[in-house]
Amino acid sequence: MGKTNLGIDQEGFPYIAIFAFSSLIFAILGWWLLAVLCLIGTIFCGHFFRDPERIIPTEANIAVSPADGKIIRIEPRQDPISGESHTCISIFMNICNVHVNRSPIKGQIEAIQYVQGHFLNASLDKAAKENEHCSYLLRDQDGKQWVVVQIAGLIARRIVCRTKEGDILNRGERFGIIRFGSRVDLYLPEEYTPTVNLGNKVIAGETILAKKNQE
């Protein structure tokens, strides 16, 4: 979803094209400083919208990270769809991270809720409720519910959803992107325990965030 053969997400093409075309025009006109600045913008957009392949773990009863970034919170919190309290793992994506989001599990999307809001710093606790966000309720093969939330931030001003209710996502499958840095929250079923700690760096689709408790 959104992946191209160039390893760049399709959301980046308009930005890359504008900067590249502007750089060419400025170079033709001899305005070299502007040409170089636009060339730098082209390179930056290509880097920001990169979408590398990932090696998805095949181990049973695990959840992988839905986003690249840093773990900034692990705490009980009410998820925005059911209102029930679950362990929530918050991942902050800075401007240098890959911003393509991936499904943490294999499951079916039962609900999607988009909420307009503010654009506060995504690392703030109140950003989960006050910022623009899109929540996804997934049900895994064991019938357990998972909630993934894309949260817009201070710079990120667009959440891109590339799935719909009823779709079945594989573990590590792409489902969307948030432009220019933000945050993703993952709410775990009570049968799962986090395997990461605060401050850990994680990779979408590769890093194991949680494992099912042993019976």
Residue-wise pLDDT tens digits, 182-200: 889 999 999 999 999 999 9
Whether 93 and 177 map to the same domain: the answer is yes
Whether 42 and 115 map to the same domain: the answer is no
Residue 39: its pLDDT value, please? 93
**Reported pTM:** 0.85
CATH number at residue 67: 2.70.70.10
Residue 6: its pLDDT value, please? 66
Residue of 47, 129, 54, 116 lying closest to 90 (CA atoms) = 129
Whether 83 and 15 map to the same domain: the answer is no
More confident residue, 41 or 146: 146
With a cut of 90, say whether residue 112 has pLDDT above it. Answer: yes
Whether 34 and 104 map to the same domain: the answer is no
What domain range is 182 assigned to? 62-212
170: three-class secondary structure by DSSP: coil
Residue of 59, 16, 58 lying closest to 39 (CA atoms) = 16
Whether 81 and 129 map to the same domain: the answer is yes
The answer to whether residue 53 is domain-embedded is no
Whether 35 and 102 map to the same domain: the answer is no
**Which phi and psi (to 5°) does residue 112 adopt?**
-130, 130
Q: Which two tokens stand for residue 14?
A: 């308009």
Whether 72 and 29 map to the same domain: the answer is no
More confident residue, 88 or 41: 88
Residue 1: its pLDDT value, please? 53
pLDDT band per the 50, 70, 90 thresholds, residue 208: very high
The answer to whether residue 1 is domain-embedded is no
Active-site positions read: 182
Whether 89 and 168 map to the same domain: the answer is yes
- C-alpha angle 186/116/15, rounded to 5°? 85
Q: Which two tokens stand for residue 161?
A: 């959803």
Tally of domains in the chain = 2
The answer to whether residue 89 is domain-embedded is yes
DSSP 59: -
Whether 27 and 127 map to the same domain: the answer is no
CA 56 to chain centre: 16
